């Protein structure tokens, strides 16, 4: 019981104590007061980041406790909700993105007589960047918000506290299966998004604009290599991990009441979106440098 009580309050105690102490020491001087308030906000942000890091570590460490999260009603339910039910929307959006890229780029390539080479540009854009980012953003809005709202409601109704009182760790029981489901589902759904985007671009270029299908396929295969496909898959793994961790964290730390759950849901999507964009930027630079080292140059679509 003592351990349960300590676990219940670890994510609030340090921040509240530090912020309250700093706020009591804010002087009455008109110049010092704004500086002290800024320091209080910075201290709170740093403390929140530390608590998030601890939560992420506890989630990763909870993976080794297989018996607590591997039950069918826990991991199986999350895999079905996050993965299977997201396939239609991911497939539809991915196909339309491929079509849009084909419509936007065809006239420019046709002007120089290279419309068959457009497949390389479309497919490379889809598999390396657009497909993974699109699938992750869609899931952050559709799945991430739902996970945050579900866990936030459990926190508001004190179900998380009840689990701790009964000696069960809610991180291992609730957060770990959701994190693993996101980690597995996002890369698989990225494959669906990439495939539908490639098919959508192929349909527009070869069927709508009557380009040579053989040349379209040959240039696509020539320009997109295995490392480009793996780059998108690696990004999707990181995106899935970010969505799972952030969504569960926002649900576990939401404020009381319906308003608190709503704010946590909004924060979950915004934070996940920013994390996806930042990781996409960093991974794009890193993976492109690795690509340059492996293949020793830039392969042009017009070569």
Three-class SS of residue 290? Answer: helix
Nearest one of 264, 196, 194 to 233, comparing CA atoms: 194
Asked whether residue 302 is domain-assigned, the answer is no
Domain edge (last residue) among 64, 99, 115: 64
Model confidence, pTM: 0.83
Please give the pLDDT value at position 214.
85
For residues 251 and 180, give the distance between their C-alpha atoms in angstroms, rounded to a whole number: 16
Please give the pLDDT value at position 184.
92
For residues 163 and 158, give the distance between their C-alpha atoms in angstroms, rounded to a whole number: 9
Say if residue 36 is in the same domain as residue 118: no
Say if residue 247 is in the same domain as residue 278: yes
Asked whether residue 234 is domain-assigned, the answer is yes
pLDDT mean over 220-227? 83
Looking at the structure of the chain, the number of domains it has is 2
Reading the block at residue 233, the tokens are 């898959």
Please give the pLDDT value at position 244.
92
At residue 300, φ and ψ (nearest 5 deg) are -90, 145
**What are the tens digits of pLDDT across the range 170-193?**
888 889 999 999 999 999 999 999
Please give the pLDDT value at position 301.
56
Mean pLDDT computed over every residue of the chain: 83
| Cβ neighbour number for residue 30 with a 10 Å cutoff | 7
What lies within 8 Å, CB to CB, of 141 at 6+ separation is 269
Please give the pLDDT value at position 15.
53
Domain edge (last residue) among 64, 79, 104: 64
Please give the pLDDT value at position 7.
45
For residues 199 and 98, give the distance between their C-alpha atoms in angstroms, rounded to a whole number: 7
Residue-range definition of the domain harbouring residue 176: 68-295
Asked whether residue 301 is domain-assigned, the answer is no
| Cβ neighbour number for residue 94 with a 10 Å cutoff | 28
**What are the tens digits of pLDDT across the range 241-274?**
999 999 999 999 888 888 888 889 999 999 999 9
Is the CB of residue 248 less than 8 Å from the CB of residue 239?
no
Say if residue 129 is in the same domain as residue 31: no
Q: Is 32 or 113 the better-scoring residue by pLDDT?
A: 113
Burial of 73 (0-12, 13-18, 19+ CB in 10 A): exposed
Assess whether pLDDT exceeds 50 at residue 9: no
Asked whether residue 181 is domain-assigned, the answer is yes
Is the CB of residue 219 less than 8 Å from the CB of residue 273?
no
Say if residue 221 is in the same domain as residue 249: yes
Q: Is 10 or 259 the better-scoring residue by pLDDT?
A: 259
For residues 280 and 286, give the distance between their C-alpha atoms in angstroms, rounded to a whole number: 10
Asked whether residue 4 is domain-assigned, the answer is yes
Domain edge (last residue) among 47, 64, 81: 64
């Amino acid at each position: 019981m003592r351990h349960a009580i300590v676990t219940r309050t670890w994510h609030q105690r340090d921040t509240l104590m530090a912020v309250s102490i700093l706020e009591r020491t804010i002087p009455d001087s008109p110049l010092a007061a704004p500086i002290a308030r800024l320091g209080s906000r910075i201290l709170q942000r740093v403390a929140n980041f530390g608590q998030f890091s601890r939560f992420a570590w506890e989630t990763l460490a909870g993976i080794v406790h297989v018996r607590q999260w591997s039950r069918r009603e826990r991991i199986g339910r999350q895999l079905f909700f996050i993965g299977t039910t997201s396939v239609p929307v991911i497939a539809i959006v991915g196909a339309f993105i491929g079509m849009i890229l084909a419509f936007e780029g065809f006239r420019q390539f046709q002007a120089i007589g290279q419309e068959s080479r457009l497949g390389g540009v479309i497919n490379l854009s889809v598999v390396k960047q657009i497909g993974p980012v699109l699938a992750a953003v869609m899931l952050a809005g559709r799945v991430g918000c739902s996970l945050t709202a579900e866990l936030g409601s459990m926190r508001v109704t004190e179900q998380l506290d009840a689990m701790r009182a009964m000696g069960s760790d809610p991180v291992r029981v609730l957060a770990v299966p959701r994190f693993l489901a996101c980690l597995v589902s996002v890369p698989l759904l990225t494959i669906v998004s990439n495939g539908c985007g490639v098919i959508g671009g192929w349909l527009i270029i070869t069927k709508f604009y009557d380009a040579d299908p053989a040349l379209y396929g040959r240039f696509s295969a020539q320009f997109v290599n295995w490392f480009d496909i793996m780059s998108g898959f690696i990004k999707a793994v990181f995106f899935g991990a970010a969505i799972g961790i952030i969504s569960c964290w926002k649900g576990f730390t939401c404020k009381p009441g319906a308003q608190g759950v709503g704010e946590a849901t909004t924060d979950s999507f915004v934070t996940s979106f920013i994390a996806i964009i930042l990781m996409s930027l960093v991974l794009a630079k890193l993976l492109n440098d690795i690509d340059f080292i492996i293949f020793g140059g830039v392969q042009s679509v017009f070569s």
